[in-house]
Amino acid sequence: MNADIEQHAWHPDTRLFDAAAPLEQQLRFALQYAVLAPSNHNAQPWRFLVNRDTVQVCADRTRALPVVDPFDRELLISCGAALFNLRVALSHFGLAYAITLFPSEADPDIVASLRVSSDGYRDAGLAGLFDAITARVTTRAPFVDEVISGALQMKLAAACDAEGAVASCVEARAARQAIASLIEQADHVQFADARFRRELASWIHPRRAGDGMPAYGTVLGELLDLAAPAVTSVVRVFDLGSGTPATHQRLVEGSPLLVGISTARDDREAWLAAGQALERLLLVAAREGFTASYLNQPIEVGTLRDALQTLLQVDALPQLLLRVGRGPQVAHAPRRPLPDVVD
Ligand SMILES: Cc1cc2nc3c(=O)[nH]c(=O)nc-3n(C[C@H](O)[C@H](O)[C@H](O)COP(=O)(O)O)c2cc1C
């Protein structure tokens, strides 16, 4: 896939939305925005079934990441982020909706059924996030070393709260340092596992098209080389461009604010809520000119999750850990063509 086609998904022509068209057509139009949600390894583990006034948002477990995400927790978080973008797009186009989560006992892959209905839910706050959908991007570069205002932190916390999750903002240097050392431990555990490296390598393979992550220089070869298990943070945290692993210290300096997203429970409903909270937070940040990337390693390595919870000083269970700040402009990751994900 060439670069122009890869970027095409990020420029839907909003003027082509036809409010007089059948609802099914309007829903298909709105799904162009759902697929711009983030997903682990850019696996895009979702499918959408459109039938008249209803969209079923489905988990595509053929795109699961069994090593890094054995229980499909992050997979459902990604589906939650896609559902949130769909809600924002529908709100922008003036369509109210009602959502039923996990509507079918028989088919646990249907994570949500969304029906457009004039007496459905409307949220004026969502429409205002529409332009941020195409502006949001994961930025793995170091961020500007600056104080992040309390006002922004409160907006990020309110975004998570609105979706039933808790945001914990960490800006004190000593606390960021303690979390960075937990990330370093988690990196060591994960990258020592050849299956983890093999799984990651398969999603940054240059022959992938429409999904996966950009290849970082020589990293792919190193991931597949059992004798060189130390590429760690280059891929997962920073793209320093030189192939040099980000040091723990660089992580602290280049991440002025860390944000944990936690939920009271640890089940499929909580994971969907965490995904919607994630995307709401990211869109609010993007609207304010801020960007983010992920530091989920101490959550994925289950034995470190309690320690992270303690450092975040939160009663709820951590689901995601982000770094937030202002970074350089980076290219968008590709998306699969809509016909591949919409039935
Ligand atoms: C649940 C989840 C976990 C993620 N984990 C990581 C991660 O550990 N490291 C990373 O660099 N990016 C991570 N990402 C970001 C994805 O790689 C990114 O969303 C994807 O490549 C698409 O790029 P975009 O966000 O710029 O659209 C994660 C995203 C989600 C939703």
The Cα 43–Cα 37 span in angstroms is: 11
pLDDT number for residue 252: 81
Ligand 1: lining residues by beta carbon, under 6 Å: 38-42, 74, 77-78, 81, 137-138, 140, 213, 236, 293-294, 296, 332-333
| Distance from residue 129's CA to the centre of ligand 1 (Å) | 20
Nearest CA to ligand 1 atom 21: 42
Cα 236 to ligand 1 centre (Å): 9
The protein residue with its alpha carbon nearest to ligand 1, atom 16, reads: 40
The residues, any chain, with a CB within 8 Å of residue 30's CB and separated by 6 or more, are 86, 89, 90, 93, 95
* Neighbour tally for 115: CB within 10 Å: 18
Q: What is the pLDDT of residue 292?
A: 96
User: Is the model's pTM score more than 0.85?
Assistant: yes
CA of residue 76 to ligand 1 center, whole Å: 13
- How far does the centroid of ligand 1 lie from the alpha carbon of residue 201, in Å? 14
Ligand 1 centroid distance, CA of 255 (Å) = 16
Q: Which of 296, 300, 301, 319 to mutate to test the pocket of ligand 1 (most atoms within 8 A of CB)?
A: 296
**Which residue CA neighbors atom 1 of ligand 1 most closely?**
74
Q: Which residues contact 44 (CB under 8 A, 6 or more apart)?
A: 35, 60, 63, 78, 211, 335, 336, 341
Q: Nearest residue CA, atom 31 of ligand 1?
A: 39
Q: How far is the CA of 292 from the centre of ligand 1 (A)?
A: 10
Gap between the Cα atoms of 141 and 143, Å rounded: 6
Cα(127)–Cα(100) distance, rounded to whole angstroms?
Answer: 21
Q: Quick count: other Cβ atoms within 10 Å of Cβ 70?
A: 11
User: pLDDT at position 204, please?
Assistant: 85
DSSP code of residue 176: H
- Show pLDDT as tens, one digit a residue, over the chain (343 residues): 455 656 789 999 999 999 999 999 999 999 999 999 999 999 999 999 999 999 999 999 999 999 999 999 999 999 999 999 999 999 999 999 999 999 999 999 999 999 999 999 888 889 999 999 999 999 988 899 999 999 999 999 999 999 999 999 999 999 999 999 898 888 888 888 889 988 988 998 888 889 998 765 556 666 666 555 455 544 555 544 444 445 666 778 899 999 999 999 999 999 999 999 999 999 999 999 999 999 999 999 999 999 999 999 999 999 999 999 999 999 999 999 999 999 9
Helix (H) or strand (E) holding 237: none
Of ligand 1's listed atoms, the one at least distance from the Cα of 38 is 19
C-alpha 27 – ligand 1 centre gap (Å):
26
Q: Closest ligand 1 atom, CA of 295?
A: 8
Q: Which of 138, 139, 323 to mutate to test the pocket of ligand 1 (most atoms within 8 A of CB)?
A: 138
Q: What SS3 state is found at 271?
A: helix
Ligand 1 geometric centre to CA of 81 (Å): 11
What's the CA angle centered on 166, arms 161 and 169, to 5 degrees? 110
Q: How far apart are CA 243 and CA 234, in angstroms?
A: 7
Amino acid at 8: H
Closest ligand 1 atom, CA of 36?
27
What's the 294 CA to ligand 1 centre distance in angstroms?
6
In this structure, the residue with its CA closest to atom 12 of ligand 1 is 294
